Amino acid sequence: MISKMAAATGFSVLALAVILLPLVQSGNQAWPMPYKRLASRPPQNPYCQAGVVPFCPTGRAPNTMPHFKPTDQLYVYAMKAPVWEFKFGDRLAKYHIMHDAIGFHHVQSGANFTMEWYELYQLFNCTFAHVLKNDTLFWCNQGAACIYNGIDEKHWKQNGTLVKVADMSGDVFNQFANWTEQDNNTGVYYETWTVRSKPDGPLWFDSWECATWVIRAFAAMGKFGAKFDTSVHLNYTRMNIYSKEPVLLGNASTIFNGTEKKLANEVLKFYRLFQSHQSMPHLIESMLAAFWETVVEGKFYLFYNEQYWMLPIVQPHFKLTYEGYPLPG
């Protein structure tokens, strides 16, 4: 009897859960949402074409990281330069809008290398989807690691930072090289936004861009045995959105190829605000206008782990921060 009751109650609870699940799924979600890695990097869609700057023009071929004798010595540098310096000089540095990279100096040969992780098709394409003619969204949002010879000292030093942060052996570098290729082949989608409940509040979604790549690359080096100079303090740029608990909406096929016409239209309406994929001044202008609408409407539609989430945005809505993060050790 009791067990039958329990079974019956168990069943109805389960049935209720199944019915309510799509509505309250995020209620059981453990936050922050872990970033989903893929088994391998999907091929580039020919629709996605780099406009202004090609990705990694002078870089080494994919998965050909250099290797050194295990007993060799390397120095590691943290490097920062203002975003779009080629266009705006040091102007964005005043707002702490910085791009992060890592430099290596191989002591035995004197060779230098620069490594950075960035968008394949620029920031705007990684942040907002293209609305296609058949009312679906299309993303050109892959990012990747690039390694090339040399360190452009002037570029990093003049309006930015170039500071030695660690010493490592060739053996540690070789392990890091392996880590780099694994990381590059599995963590492929760029995420612009850091989503939090409030400034200094718990994280809903972490970003996945140049700065978080440097932070996890340093963590990997530390784990493999690099010796960091922890007296060096580094800050990293974050683009924050503040929101109440995010609500999972579904993926592209459930939203755009299903029965959720109303939802599909809301998401499309939002992304239509961000369709300036080409000219820079127009892009900034339209982003400001769109941000105002977002603030008024109080809704932001985020794409993360290939799923759409509604962010009920709250004060102070959106903020750039430049936050300290300690070196490992």
Ligand X SMILES: *[C@@H]1O[C@H](CO)[C@@H](O)[C@H](O)[C@H]1NC(C)=O
Catalytic residues: 99, 210
Q: Under a CB-based contact definition with an 8 Å cutoff, are residues 214 and 100 in contact?
A: yes
Residues 209-268 within binding reach of ligand X (CB under 6 A): 235, 251, 253-254, 256-257
Interface with ligand X: number of residues (CB under 6 A):
53
The residue range among 26-34, 48-56, 197-205, 206-214 that interacts with ligand X, by the rule CB under 6 A, is 48-56
Any contact of residue 48 with ligand X (CB under 6 A)?
yes
Closest CA to 84 of 71, 66, 73, 97: 97
Return d(Cα 97, Cα 325) in angstroms, integer. 16
Q: Which residues contact 132 (CB under 8 A, 6 or more apart)?
A: 138
Q: How far apart are the first and last CA of the chain?
A: 60
Our measurement of the distance from residue 184's CA atom to the centroid of its chain's CA atoms, rounded to an integer in Å, reads: 13
Q: Which of 131, 151, 168, 210 binds ligand X (CB under 6 A)?
A: 151
Supply the Cα-derived Rg of the chain in whole angstroms.
Answer: 22
Out of 216, 227, 277, 317, the residue judged to bind ligand X by CB under 6 A: 277
Assess 197 for contact with ligand X (CB under 6 A). Answer: no
Tell me which of 37, 105, 216, 317 binds ligand X, using CB under 6 A: 105
CA distances from 66 to 112, 168, 226 (A): 11, 15, 17
Span interacting with ligand X, options 32-40, 145-153, 261-269, 295-303, rule CB under 6 A = 145-153
134 binds ligand X (CB under 6 A): yes
Integer CA distances (angstroms), 93 to 82, 89, 156, in order: 5, 8, 12
In one-letter notation, the amino acid at residue 57 is P
Of 184, 194, 212, 240, the one binding ligand X (CB under 6 A) is 184
49 binds ligand X, rule: CB under 6 A: yes
Single residue of 83, 102, 125, 210 touching ligand X by CB under 6 A? 125
Task: Determine contact, residues 75/105, Cβ cutoff 8 Å.
Answer: yes
Among 113, 118, 121, 271, interactor with ligand X by CB under 6 A? 121
Min. distance of Cβ 90 from ligand X in angstroms? 3
Q: Check: CB of residue 233 under 8 Å from CB of residue 324.
A: yes
* Local structure of 298: helix, strand or coil: coil
* 43 DSSP 8-state letter: P
CA–CA separation, 318 and 311 (whole Å): 12
Smallest distance from ligand X to CB 2, Å: 36
Give least dist CB 298 to ligand X, A: 26
Question: Which residue lies nearer to ligand X by CB, 3 or 46?
Answer: 46
Residues that bind ligand X in the complex, under the rule CB under 6 A = 41, 47-52, 56, 59, 62-63, 65, 85, 89-90, 96, 105, 110, 112, 121-122, 125, 132, 134, 136, 140, 144-147, 151, 153-155, 158-159, 162, 175, 178, 180-182, 184, 235, 251, 253-254, 256-257, 277, 322-324
